[in-house]
Amino acid sequence: MTALFECETEILWDFDYMKLYEQAASVSLDEEGCPYEVTVSLLLTDDDAIRKINSENRGIDKATDVLSFPMIELSSPANFSDLKDDNMSFDPDTGELILGDIVLSKDRIEAQAKEYGHSLEREYTFLIIHSMLHLMGYDHMNDEDRKLMEERQKIIMARLAEDLPNLAV
């Protein structure tokens, strides 16, 4: 997996957020049975920048915690068999599946961790997992889809928390 990372804001967190990003993305891919090596990117920014991105891309002039920009379209969540004859979704140089882009607001991560009473690591990891599931075709537009996505999030968080106790709820 190639985990691209860009940071547009000052981060004073006392944990290895790059390593945690890679772990969360990797476990998400494993749990969803992705048979490919992938490229995924994460942009860590602030509320002002994510508000602008949200406005430009979704027409919603409001800061949000996470934005997901999938580069593939699957017929159902994590149905990677859709890609078997799709050469356009793979990087011609590396052969990796170009999964998509994640944008996170550092400001929202910090506020939500405080609001929900858990660690920064847990909130950051949860939002990466949430976005990874979006990149793999999950959504929460109706109750059935929301329940499925929430169940997948819980399973992935639990697997990560086995080795990383700060992620426990």
Tokens 């919603």 found at: 60
Spatial separation of the C-alpha atoms in residues 84 and 61, rounded to whole Å: 38
Q: Read off the CATH number of the domain in which 106 is found.
A: 3.40.390.30
Q: Is the pTM of this model over 0.85?
A: yes
| Residue among 101, 77, 69, 99 nearest 86 (CA) | 99
Query: Region 12-31: what's the mean pLDDT?
Result: 96
Tell me if 168 sits within 8 A of 126, measured CB to CB.
no
Residue 93's alpha-carbon distances to 42, 89, 97, 98, 103, in angstroms, are 20, 12, 11, 12, 25
In what helix (H) or strand (E) does residue 164 lie, and over which residues does it extend? none
Specify the pLDDT at position 166: 78
Count CB neighbours of 5 within 10 A: 14
**Average of per-residue pLDDT across 93-115:** 97
Checking phi first, is residue 34 left (phi over 0); if not, alpha (psi -120 to 50) or beta? beta
Number of H helices, E strands in the chain: 5, 4
Domain extent at residue 109? 2-167
For the chain, how many structural domains are there in total?
A: 1
> What was the pLDDT predicted at 164?
86
> Residue 20 CB: number of other CB atoms within 10 A?
20
Question: pLDDT grade, residue 169 (50/70/90)?
Answer: low
Average pLDDT score over residue span 37-62: 97
Which helix (H) or strand (E) segment holds residue 130: the answer is helix 120-135
